[in-house]
Amino acid sequence: MAVLVLGLGPLVLARRQPAAPIVHGEKLPYHHVFRRVAPQGLGLGLGSIGFGVLATFITLDFSHRHWSGAALALTLFGALFICARLLFASWINRIGGYAVALICFGTEALGLAVLWMAQARLLAFGGAALTGFGFSLVFPALGVEAVRSIPLQDKGTALGAYGVFMDFSMMITGPVAGAIIGGWGFPAMYLFAVGAVILALLLTGLQAARESAAIA
């Protein structure tokens, strides 16, 4: 009921906003748009695995270790996520989406590595906070780069196609991480997420280098 009531406020505010103008022009086929945003979308999907692992399984991990405070770990994740967006969102325009995404992936990987190695609650809290801080700007940073070269009339379609990668990541993370936990235990799922985020970092760095070379 609380979530339902809280959701009504934004709905009222959104209805008061003017509708975005529809940009007319020849539309690209959806598969063309999807292919153009796929490099950034793949980075988003891989980076989202850390978020999915933490949000889905950290409470079970704490219970398995007989630790209290799983709710605090999730709160720290959310609080640092919000703080980073409030404080550093302007960096996307200042230093570029790829640069911000690389910093974010590095921070997220560090947070997940701390969770992987944590033998005490305080370290786990720190790892959750770092993970939230790191993941905070991944979506907007790569999203800016994903839609940069898309024609104006197709930017909405491009943003929707880009978001599909995060949705797909959320869909598969639970079953895959659950299988990893069943075979190797809870720490292994964090290591799996670290690998995914590092792969996202490498792919994003490669894409940034290619685009810089093309401009030069």
How much is the average pLDDT of 188-192? 97
Distance, CA of 30 to CA of 36 (rounded, Å): 10
Long-range contacts made by residues 149-152, C-beta under 8 angstroms, separation at least 24? 149/36, 150/28, 150/33, 150/36, 150/37, 151/25, 151/28, 152/23, 152/25
In a domain, 1, yes or no: no
Q: How many separate domains does the chain show?
A: 1
Between 73 and 2, where is the model more confident?
73
How much is the average pLDDT of 27-34? 92
**Model confidence over 119-128: pLDDT tens digits?**
999 999 999 9
Helices (H), 118-154: 121-135, 138-147
In a domain, 22, yes or no: no
CATH number of the domain at 66, please.
1.20.1250.20
In a domain, 3, yes or no: no
With pLDDT > 70 as the criterion, what percentage of the chain qualifies?
Answer: 100
How much is the average pLDDT of 199-216? 91
In a domain, 202, yes or no: yes
Write down the pLDDT at residue 86. Answer: 96
Closest CA to 130 of 149, 111, 147, 157: 111
3-state secondary structure of 216: coil
pTM to 2 decimal places? 0.92
88 is in which domain, residue-wise? 30-215
How much is the average pLDDT of 144-170? 94
b (16+ CB within 10 A) / e for 20-35: eeeeeeeebeeeebbe
